[in-house]
Structure 1
């Protein structure tokens, strides 16, 4: 559950029944040393991005951002046997480094995922660096994502997202469809310490992305057009979808902001936006 020690720091699993989980010792001790600081990302601050891992990721393709939130599969024997770092797969390395942990085992295949929110955030920060070609969100003028979502209006968030997307290495990470848009926004928001929900289901359908920030609850519906022609029609389609399927309205938050956004593949940016009542 969000806001708990187990959600933030627990979840590491190393045995084949996948039933026993442990906390990250350093993060837990650091939290109890200064609980008044709240849940900080001690993992990243204290070596969550070691030099050896970063060097490895320069020569080995980090999983595509669209895979960020998905479980990864790996042969069980690859986790239990020693391997040369030159031949080690990215999944095996990330598991051995603590970024991924056992979630399930089926036969000889292990399924691994992020152990907790702290590591999930750290991984999103690594993905963000890759998306932005080594730059930080501060360097591209899109810092304080959480604060902006908590305080600024829809138009400001529209411009914030465009700063991020205009800085993506489009050759390595092309924007192809709504799934790409959704995945990249998920990575950016997760890297900012938020917990976005992708394809959140209600009784009438599933929204593209939803995220809670303070007393606000944001609901995003994305559309992609090949050119600026038809962008207005797609915007209206997204607005109708938000209205008819009542995305986000089941939430009991102080302020619900439902936003339709259209991304132009031709211009490589969001060209239309509208807030839906």
Structure 2
């Protein structure tokens, strides 16, 4: 069985016999159709491997690295020098150091390719212009720029440094625009920003971030996982069902893929909202875990690998977030806000969440209609709630903050309500007042989901939808919430919540052998209370 790799270098897949999900047909068509392209994707999605694959094709050809791939017998282009610039390698905090390292990379390229008789310079835009001028008339190169916006995202709260890096990118691109020695150019990044001019009117770079034809070039499809990782799928099923791998049925495989999809699928980068992909990093980690641990663990690999992206952490320090928006199934935003974000510090928070992978497309992109966004899957929703929890709650103020799973699964109703009240008490009410039932439900959902509990809000059954449903192996907890702004009529509200649970039979669907714990609860929002004061177990 071939190994799974997280490599960003296509050569390693061949040399070390790693599994490679073949995306070369997309790359072939991309290079054949366009001269200069850009595509944005969230971190750990495969941008760097895509760039490296393009570079290897141009620099070394198909032999021996592309044997067995779609492109192997179709690639006919001659090799040429490749200048590969990864902005991740350069300083994000010092512009002079950034320029020095940048120039060193350009100089290395010139030396390697015997380009001489040019004037050295400390300004990258001047240096690369001088090198272009010194190239023979018939010499052509490929230019690849990975994570072009790294320095911008790192300085979202440093206006002076952000502006310096922005101007550098703008001016550097001006030197590249129309340069005859560039045979092909590709750029990647997380964000798409008009204020760097790369995507402005008159740019010669084609933005393919939401192009239907290339929407599955980065990311795994269900069919690709089934084709290339079939041995790992069968292995996981065999561990779960305690059967031999050759006894695994097609139905077993489809059910297993359904569960994988719930956790890792449904990212959409398609303008017509047709194609979706799985997170490459999460799928690889999940399947590697099966082999290493000999069990199936649906972990949150994408978030745990990188923690909170600096771009979002910095953004949330200087911007207010509307919590109830992120707990809805869909967020609607203006077409122009989504497609034409001007500047990173002033970007709509929903667009930023989408570009960083915490939200994804839930509708087609069609002007002038509003565009819908939402969470892609359980993994990313839990990651988003972990991210938001650190803004709204103060985990350091409560020793048992992270114990919700054990308290809800094993504790009494009294212990559960006491814990939830203590958690809510860590919220700074002057900044984030709990003003209604919707915000209360959103906060509790954020807290429980952020701790990786299997929690559902507005979970529908055949008679209605409960406020919160939390699943554990041995217990299902239903919480029906009511809100009293001034502390009045709490008894009446409690009775209404009880009656609602009984009449609509919340939580009975697909219960299995779990214990069902149904709780009616009333939150008193008056200034001297601000906690759940009335609660009752049903049954």
- TM-score (ref. length: structure 2): 0.48
Q: Deviations over 1:126-185 (max 9, x none)?
A: 1211211xx337845321212222221211111111011111121222112222222211
- The CA distance in 1 between the partners of 2:318 and 2:312, in whole Å, is 10
The structure with the greater share of residues assigned to strand is 1
For 1:153, the equivalent position in structure 2 comes to 412
Aligned equivalents of 1:144, 1:207: Cα separation in 2:
23
Bigger fraction of residues in helix: 2
- Are residues 32 and 203 of structure 1, via their aligned partners in 2, closer, same or farther at CA, if it must alter by over 3 Å? closer
Q: 2:448 aligns with which of 189, 213, 216?
A: 189
**Paired residues of 2:397 and 2:426 also in contact (CA < 8 A):** no
| Equivalenced residues, count | 275
Q: Structure 1 residues 85 and 257, CA, compared in 2 at 3 Å: closer, same or farther? A: same
Match of 1:9 in 2: 264
Deviations 1:104-128 (A, max 9, x none): 1263232111111111001011121
What corresponds to 2:228 in structure 1?
none
1:238 has 2:497 as partner: yes
Aligned equivalent of 1:215: 474
Alignment equivalent of 1:53, drawn from 297, 304, 312: 312
Cα drift, residue 77 of structure 1: 4.5
Contact preservation (8 Å) 2:457, 2:468: yes
Partner SS for 1:115? coil
Deviation at 1:37, TM superposition (A): 6.1
Equivalent residue, structure 1, for 2:288: 33
1:66–1:259 CA distance, 2 compared to 1 (3 A): farther
Aligned to 1:23: 278
Match of 2:220 in 1: none
Q: 1:65 aligns with which of 307, 324, 328?
A: 324
How far the C-alpha of 1:196 sits from its partner, in A, is 2.5
Higher mean displacement: 234-243 or 6-15: 234-243
Compared CA separation, residues 200 and 224, structure 1 to 2 (3 A): same
Q: State the distance in 1 between where 2:486 and 2:339 align.
A: 50
| Structure 2 CA distance for aligned equivalents of residues 90 and 226 of structure 1 | 29
C-alpha contact 1:66 1:184 (8 A) present in aligned 2 = no
**1:167 equivalent in structure 2:** 426
Structure 1 runs not aligned, ≥5 long: none
One of 356, 372, 378 as aligned partner of 1:117: 378
Bigger relative contact order (CA 8 A; separation at least 6): 1
CA contact (8 A) 1:140 1:164 kept: no
8 Å contact 1:219–1:248 — kept in the other structure?
Answer: yes
**TM superposition shift of 1:66:** 5.1
Q: Per the alignment, do residues 81 and 244 of structure 1 end up closer, same or farther by CA in structure 2, a change over 3 Å counting?
A: closer
User: CA distance change for structure 1 residues 37 and 245 in 2, over 3 Å: closer, same or farther?
Assistant: closer
Q: State the match for 2:66 in structure 1.
A: none
Structural RMSD (CA):
2.4
Tell me, in whole angstroms, the C-alpha distance in 2 between the residues paired with 1:81 and 1:106: 12
State the 1:79 CA deviation. Answer: 3.9
